[in-house]
Amino acid sequence: MPARDLRKLGDPVLRRVAKPVELNLVGSSEFQALVDDLIDTMHTAKGAGLAAPQIGESVRLAAVHVHDNPRYPYKPNFPLTVFINPRLTFLTDEEASVFEGCLSVPDLRGRVRRKMRVRVDAWDRLGQPFSVEAAGLTAGTFQHELDHLDGVLFVDRVEDPRTLTTWSNFDRFHREAFVVEATALVARWGG
């Protein structure tokens, strides 16, 4: 299956509230091809996750996969997981400020406060219901991807616009300090 074009900031599809997937259509070859495209596009772009609106489909479908990601080397690995019609529950009020980026917001990173433990209830690509908990940076990734299904981008949640930085300036001025913070978060919360 081909990787699709990534939709970028300013494309209205990123701002729509995505429609629920009809579960009786999950087994169709059309929907399965969409799931394959989402995964292939995420892998090609080296994203930690991707939501269907980012490939132009306004449906409640997202994927997360972290495997030694070069964009985010401090992120704990997380197996490939596909979420259909996910519902997010916060399991703690504790938050941390983490630098986020997004494949739909080229060359920009900024600090966002995210809850540090969440549960997601969803259906998998076979239409089976499942539940998964995540903590720390992975919990932040889940919140970021599910935000896309509500038309929300990380730039909407940036705690202070003065934390916005290009990737090269992140590497130059902010990466070293953030890796120390991220390592402490991983030690405290795990993945």
Smallest distance, Ni ion to C-beta of residue 188, A: 24
Q: Which is nearer to Ni ion, 26 or 114 (CB)?
A: 114
Determine the size of the site formed for Ni ion (CB under 5 A). Answer: 1
Q: What residues contact 182, with CB distance under 8 A and at least 6 apart?
A: 74, 75, 98, 137
Tell how strand 78-90 and strand 61-66 pair up: antiparallel
- The CB-of-182 to Ni ion minimum distance in angstroms stands at 18
CA–CA gap between residue 110 and residue 176 (Å, rounded): 15
Contact letters (x/-) for Ni ion, 59-98, by CB under 5 A?
Answer: ----------------------------------------
Q: Which is nearer to Ni ion, 84 or 102 (CB)?
A: 102
Q: How many residues does the chain have?
A: 191
CA-based end-to-end distance of the chain: 30
Residue nearest to Ni ion (CB): 102
What's the maximum distance between 2 C-alpha atoms anywhere in the chain? 50
Tokens coding 32: 């399965």
30 is a catalytic site residue: no
* Interface mask toward Ni ion for 100-139; x: CB under 5 A: --x-------------------------------------
**Pick the catalytic residue: 145, 159, 176, 181?**
145
Residue (26 or 102) nearer to Ni ion, CB:
102
Least separation in angstroms between CB 100 and Ni ion:
8
Short-list 23, 49, 70, CA closest to 144: 49
| Per-residue DSSP letter, 182 | H
Closest to Ni ion by CB, 102 vs 134, is 102
Q: Which is nearer to Ni ion, 64 or 102 (by Cβ)? A: 102
Closest CB 49 distance from Ni ion, rounded Å: 7
C-alpha Rg value of the chain to the nearest Å: 16
Q: Are 99 and 174 in contact (CB under 8 A)?
A: yes
List the catalytic residues: 145
Q: Enumerate binding residues for Ni ion (CB under 5 A).
A: 102
